A = this chain, B = another copy of it.
């Protein structure tokens, strides 16, 4: 597990062994059952989650319906960046789709690491850049692509979603009813 985190971290920033140990020592670890919440909307998100094993989604509720924003799998970091940065109540619930184990980096630890290890800033910068790009792509997909195109994009780019995520969550991600998703799937095969 430590090796997995180290290898993942090296994709963002080159830390010395000593620096990595310093970072690793700040992590906490947790396991969430299938359908358990990592964050409940209304709370401030003060943590970033690194998925060691499993799969999560985040969703918002409006007009009594869940709108799934995104899915994340092993090797991904996720935080409600909006709540994390502004320190305001999150509008999201983050939920485990499968039994999921995570490493948890608190905002306080992150700020301390920024001060202690200037090199670690690159990790923060890339996280922020990814959050920006994710928000932009999500906004564009919702405003510019049809549900069919969004589904085709999932099939092509994110096979894990198709394989591991229940249909109703995929439908909620696409912004359509499960019945419409069934029709789309039939029309493709």
Chain A contact residues, CB within 8 Å of chain B: 81-82, 85-86, 114, 118-119, 121-122, 124-125, 128-129, 131-133, 135-136, 139
Contacts and interface: CB of A to CB of B under 8 A. Distances in A.
6 contacts: A85-B129, A85-B133, A118-B119, A119-B121, A125-B125, A128-B129
Copies of this chain: 2
B125 A132 contact: no
Contacts of A122: 114, 118, 121, 124-125
Contacts of A118: 118-119, 121-122
Contact of A132 (B81, B119, B121): B81
A135 B133 contact: no
